Structure 1
Amino acid sequence: MSYRLLSLLGFIFSFQITHSQVEQELNPPDYIKTITFQGQTNESQLPILRLGENLLLEFDVLNGNEDDFYYKIEHFNYDWTPSQLMRTEFLSGYDNQRIRFYENSFNTYQIYSHYMLRLPNERTRGLKVSGNYMVKVFNDLDELVFSRKFMVNESGVGVGVAIKRSRDVKFIEEKQSVDIVINSNSMLLSNPTQTVNTVIIQNNNLNTAIYNVKPQYSIGNELISKYNTETSFFAGNEYFFFENKDIRGANSNIQFIELGDLYNNYLFTNVARRNRPYTYNPDINGNFLITAIDVEKPYIEADYAWIHFSLLMNKLPNNQSVHVYGNFNNYAIDESTKMTYNDKHSIYEVPILLKQGFYNYKYVVVNNATGKLDEGAIGGNFWQTENDYKVVVYYRDLGGRYDRIIGVGQGNSVDISN
C-alpha cells in the first residue's frame, strides 16, 4: 500500500472522528410520559453509576395498547460523539431485546401501562467499560421512540469541588463558579493537559453543561482548575414547586381542583421574580418525585391530572415565548410547555398532563427565531441560589480508543464562598 494511500485513509479517518455528529437525546411522543431514569443514588434523571451498579428505566404509555418496546445501548466519547468501540467491547451479553416487564394502571381515570427496564438483566449482563452511554427505546416497527443518556464511572481519582462567587465583577451578583481539584494518587495521568477532559453539570441539566475544561496547573499529584469565567454558571433562582399526592384535595401550592374526564389542578398564579429580592426556598433543584397517598404501588396507582400553570407578567414581544421548564420532561422545550397569554387576566397560562407527585419547575423565555433559552429572564439570577453541581472527569491515554470516566465529584452552592 502506497504512502499516498495510507495518508489519504488517515485523513478520511481523522475527518470522520473530528466531524462525528454529537448525539442528542430524543424526547418521547405525547403518549409516553413520566420517564424516570435512576441508578442506586435514586436520581430521576442523568444517573451516574459505578461499574457493576444497577440501572432502572421506567416510563408510562398512555394509549392503552400494551405496545412492545425494544432497547439498545450505545457508547460515546466525552463530547457525545460516537465512540470507536464495538458493541462486544463495552457490552456483556446482548441488547436489542424486548422490554418484558410492564403493569397496567389500577383504579385510575387515565389508563396507562407502566414499563420497567432493569440493567443488567439476564440478557444484557453488564457494561464492561466506563464512559458515556445512551439507552434507546424503539417500537415494534424499529422506530426510535425516545433516548436517555447516562454515565458509568470507574472511580480512579478523587475529585474535589468547591463553589465560589463569580470572579468576574460584572457577574458577581448573578453567577457561581466551580473550582476543581483532581487527586491522582492512585493512577498515573500522562500529559494531563491533552488526555484529561472535565465536564461540569448544573442540576442534572446537560443542556447547560460546560465541556472541555482542562487542568490549569498541577501541584504534586493534584490537577487544579480555578478559572475566572470558563467554569461559571448563571445561578438562577430557586424553583417553584407543587404537590398533588392527594389528587382530590388542594395540596401545596394548588389553589383549587375540578373533575372532568381527568382531574384538573389549578396552581396559584406565580409572579416574575427577576426584580425582586432573593428569598431562600428549599427545592430539589428541578427534580420530581412520583407519590400518592393511600396507595401501595404509586407507579401504577398514581393518576394523571392536568396541571394548570399561570404566570402574572406583562406580555412579551411576538419573537419571544414563555415555557414551563424542569426535569419532569428532561428540560425539553416544546409545544406542550409553551404558555399562551390571557389578555383578560394579564397572565401566561398552560395546562400540562403530569402524574401525581412532587414537582419543581420554573419559567423561561425562548427566542423563537434562534431557539436560545434564557433561564433568568423571569426568575432572575442570584449568587445565593442553592444549586447542585457534578464534575465528571474523563481520561483517554495516548493511543486510547475511548474516553474513560475516572472520577466524579459533587458540590452544592449552599456552601458557596468568595
Structure 2
Amino acid sequence: MSLKPLFVIILFAVPFSLFPQVEETNPPEHIKTINFRGTTAENQLPILTLGDAVILEFDALNGEENDYYYKIKHFNFDWTPSQLVQSEYMDGFDNQRIRTYENSFNTYQIYSHYILTLPNDQTRGLKVSGNYMLYIYNSDGQLVFSRKFMLYENKANVGVVLKRARDLDVIEEKQRVELTIDSNNMQLNNPYQTVKAAIIQNNNLNTAITNVKPQYTLGNKLVYKYDSETSFWGGNEYFFFENKDIRAANNNVQFIDLKDLYYNYLYTNIIRANRPYTYNPDINGNYVINNIDASNPSIEADYAWVYFSLEASDALKNKQVYIYGSFNNYAIEDSNRMTYNPESHNFEHTMLLKQGFYNYKYVVADNNGVINDGVISGNFWQTENNYKVLVYYRDLGARYDRIIGYGEGSSVNITN
C-alpha cells in the first residue's frame, strides 16, 4: 500500500484535534464594563436555554461613537473549532454592525453604551446547542474583545450535590462536587466515550474542571462520585464595595475625592489565609451596575477611580498580586496588577470602574500565569460557592458536541 493515501486518511481522520483551544480576548483600556447575560440574569456567564435571547452591553470611553461589528463561532466541548459551517448553526448572518447605542447622560466620564441582542433581524437565531464565542470587531476589522457563552437543551436532568473532600490532607480546604445525570427517555450510547461534564465554580472559566467522564451507571443514570477529579479549592468569601452614591463614602469606601473624576478610596483589606473562616454574604465574584440617583444606570452611572489597598506580609512582598473578579473577567493583566508601596507597607492599585456593587478578591500569579487565591484569602470548606454543570454529548458519528443538560448547586448546604 502506498504511504501517501495512508497519510491522507490519517490527516482527515484527526484534523480538528490539531487546533488549539480558543481563549477569550480581553478589551483595550477604553472598553469597560462588559456585561454579557440573558434577559433575566444579572451579568453572569451566559449559560442559556437554546432559543433564549443573549444580551451583550459594553461602554466605549473614547467618546467617538465608533462602529462595532460582531461575529459568532461554534466550538467543541474543549473549545477547539467545530466542524459545522455557519449555515448549520446559525439562521441568518453575522458580521453585522451593532446598531443600538446611547451616549452617557450627566456624567463626568463621557462614554457610549452599546447593546447587542441576539437574535435580531440579521442574526435570526442559533440552531444548535453547544459552546459559542462572540467576537467584537472595530470598523477596521481589528478584534476588540471576545466572550464565551453556552446554549443547552433540556434533555437530561442534572443533580448537583456538594460534599467535603475525602482526602484528609485537604478536608478543611476543598469542596467536592457529586453529579447524577438522568437522561430521561434519551438514549445515551456508550456514555463513557460520548458524555463529558464541565463544572464551573462562581462563573470562572479559568478554574473550570472539564472533560469529566461518568464514574459508573445506575440504571438510566450516570453517576459521578469522584474525589480529587471533581474537587475545587474552597477559597473564601469575596471582599465587596458599593459606590452607587458616588458623592458619599459608604459600604467599604473609606473616603472620596473629586478631581477630574470621582476617586473612591477603599479600606485596606487584610490577609485572611491564617485567620478563622468568617461568613460574609457575597454574590460570588459578580457585580451589579447601579446609581442611586439614576433611572437608567446603563447611561447615567458615572465612572470613578477606585483605590484598592492590601496589607503586605514579608512573604508577599516579592509576589505578583492581582485584583480579581467578574468585573475584569477574572483576567491576569497589567491593568489589575498591584504595586507594593514600601512607605505604607501595602499593595496598592487604582482601577477605573463604573458605579455599582462589586465583589473582588486578591490572587497571586506566577510568571506562567498560574493563579493561587489561597495565599491571600485562604481556602475553607465552609465558603459559600456556586457551581454550574454542563453535560456535553456527541453521539457516535455526530459532528458536534451538544449540551443536553445543565445543573446548578451551592455549597451553602455542604455535607460530609
Fold match by TM threshold 0.5: yes
Which shifted more, 317-326 or 173-182? Answer: 317-326
The answer on 1:111 being equivalent to 2:110 is: yes
* 1:128 alignment partner in structure 2: 127
| Contact 2:42/2:288 (8 A) holds in 1 | no
Aligned equivalents of 2:194, 2:374: Cα separation in 1: 35
The answer on 1:210 being equivalent to 2:209 is: yes
Secondary structure in structure 1 of the residue aligned to 2:137: strand
Aligned equivalents of 1:60, 1:186: Cα separation in 2: 45
* 1:346 alignment partner in structure 2: 345
* 1:287 alignment partner in structure 2: 286
- Distance 1:245-1:49 versus aligned 2 partners, 3 A rule: same
Secondary structure in structure 1 of the residue aligned to 2:52: coil
* 1:89 alignment partner in structure 2: 88
After superposition, give the CA deviation of every residue in 1:2-30 in whole Å (9 maximum; x if it has no partner). Answer: 87554322211234222211000000000
The answer on 1:375 being equivalent to 2:373 is: yes
After superposition, give the CA deviation of every residue in 1:349-398 in whole Å (9 maximum; x if it has no partner). Answer: 1000000000000000111x222110111000000000000010000000
| Contact 1:315/1:346 (8 A) holds in 2 | no
Secondary structure in structure 1 of the residue aligned to 2:13: helix
Aligned equivalents of 1:14, 1:373: Cα separation in 2: 36
Deviation at 1:342, TM superposition (A): 1.2
What's the TM-score once normalised by structure 1's chain length? 0.98
- Distance 1:7-1:320 versus aligned 2 partners, 3 A rule: same
The answer for unaligned runs of 5 or more in structure 1 is none
What's the TM-score once normalised by structure 2's chain length? 0.98
Aligned equivalents of 2:316, 2:162: Cα separation in 1: 36
- Distance 1:3-1:223 versus aligned 2 partners, 3 A rule: farther
Deviation at 1:130, TM superposition (A): 0.2
- Distance 1:225-1:303 versus aligned 2 partners, 3 A rule: same
1:15-414 residue pairs with structure 2 within 5 A?
A: 15-316=14-315, 320-367=319-366, 369-414=367-412
Aligned equivalents of 2:9, 2:44: Cα separation in 1: 39
Aligned-residue CA RMSD in angstroms? 1.2
Secondary structure in structure 2 of the residue aligned to 1:57: strand
| Contact 1:215/1:223 (8 A) holds in 2 | yes
Aligned equivalents of 2:2, 2:135: Cα separation in 1: 41
Secondary structure in structure 2 of the residue aligned to 1:171: coil
Deviation at 1:415, TM superposition (A): 1.0
Aligned equivalents of 1:17, 1:64: Cα separation in 2: 42
Name the aligned partner's letter for residue 85 of structure 1. L
Aligned equivalents of 1:127, 1:220: Cα separation in 2: 34
Aligned equivalents of 1:406, 1:395: Cα separation in 2: 7
Aligned equivalents of 1:270, 1:97: Cα separation in 2: 45
Aligned equivalents of 1:108, 1:129: Cα separation in 2: 42
Which shifted more, 308-317 or 351-360? Answer: 308-317
Name the aligned partner's letter for residue 405 of structure 1. I
Deviation at 1:315, TM superposition (A): 4.5
Aligned equivalents of 1:94, 1:189: Cα separation in 2: 33
Q: How many residues align?
A: 416
The answer for unaligned runs of 5 or more in structure 2 is none
Secondary structure in structure 2 of the residue aligned to 1:95: coil
Aligned equivalents of 2:399, 2:2: Cα separation in 1: 24
After superposition, give the CA deviation of every residue in 1:34-74 in whole Å (9 maximum; x if it has no partner). Answer: 00000134141321111110010000000000000000000
Secondary structure in structure 2 of the residue aligned to 1:270: coil
Secondary structure in structure 2 of the residue aligned to 1:133: strand
Deviation at 1:312, TM superposition (A): 1.0
